[in-house]
Amino acid sequence: MQFIEVNRDNADILFDYWNEIRKNIPYFYRTTYKLFIKSLFDDTYEGRTVFRTNNVFGIQEDGQVKGVIQYDIPTFHFTEVGKITKDINIGVILNLYYEETRIDIGRVLLDLSLDFFKENNIKDIYAFYHAMGMSCNGNHGKLHEEYNYVGKLLCEEGFEIEHENIYYICDMKEKKLEYQNNRDIRVSELEDNKQKFILYDEDNKALGSAEIKYIDNLTGSSEKDIIYLVWIDIDKKVKGKGLGTEFLNHIIQYCLKKGYRYLHTDTALNNKIAQKFYIRNGFIDNGITRSYLTKTSS
């Protein structure tokens, strides 16, 4: 078992390993090496540098990577209402992956991060923090159920599940597009890889809003393949009239015209209404994702 501190000069040893992991996680998109390195060491969120430094360590055996961990202290945090704050004292384990049969490697890597947080007097530690995923992964930070054994290890070390989501994918080319009315859809200019949509009625009253994210802008991919639906919302006063489906169909038509095929999204595991909406509109369940949190006593 050989410890390796990964930096920009030797990060190529991780790229093949990362592509193996990617095969099992729907939001680990195909990315260029350049964008992978940028996300690993120089990632930003809405213009903010995510981490103060960046601790990335791998374990090799016989010249092959067998596990990897990435952890650090972030430069910002989110309040309970989703506002960004710099008043923080948290640590984040961004990534932790290893082979299922090598729990020994998982424990060694996890202990490395926990020792770091202890030395820095960090009490609250997030693992697979949902809001701080790598940009090349569309900023999805949660752990996919394919790697539930990693979550089991975290729970054995005092972590608890913080949030659970379901990840959905829709093949837009297979979606039957129907419109009840020819309502007015207005689209904003592209900003920070995102665009907003607003649905208006004939009286110019806003009925709903939505936002999409262009994944190819984050991965460096030359293929226009995936759009991520950040949110879609209909005014509660007009819910139940099919406007959500109509609005979604307009968004899908817009994405198809731009050459994209797949629409990704996710929603909370306890949000049964949203789940029924997505399934009814052709989205396929691609697994549960989880974030974790431990709060140590003072």
Please name each of the domains of the chain with its CATH number: 2-157 (3.40.630.30), 170-287 (3.40.630.30)
β-pair type (124-127, 48-49): unpaired
- The tens digit of pLDDT for each residue in 200-238 reads 888 888 889 999 999 998 998 877 899 999 999 998 877
- The tens digit of pLDDT for each residue in 4-45 reads 999 999 999 999 999 999 998 999 999 999 999 999 999 988
Task: Give the model's pLDDT for residue 271.
Answer: 96
The secondary structure element, H or E, covering residue 68 is strand 64-72
Q: Which residue has the higher pLDDT, 179 or 260?
A: 260
Chain-centroid distance of CA 72 in Å reads: 18
pTM of the prediction? 0.92
Helix, strand, coil tally for the chain in percent (to 5) = 30, 35, 35
Q: What are phi and psi of 252, to 5 degrees?
A: -65, -45
Task: Give the model's pLDDT for residue 298.
Answer: 43
- The tens digit of pLDDT for each residue in 273-295 reads 999 999 999 999 999 999 999 97
Task: Give the model's pLDDT for residue 191.
Answer: 87
Task: Give the model's pLDDT for residue 80.
Answer: 74
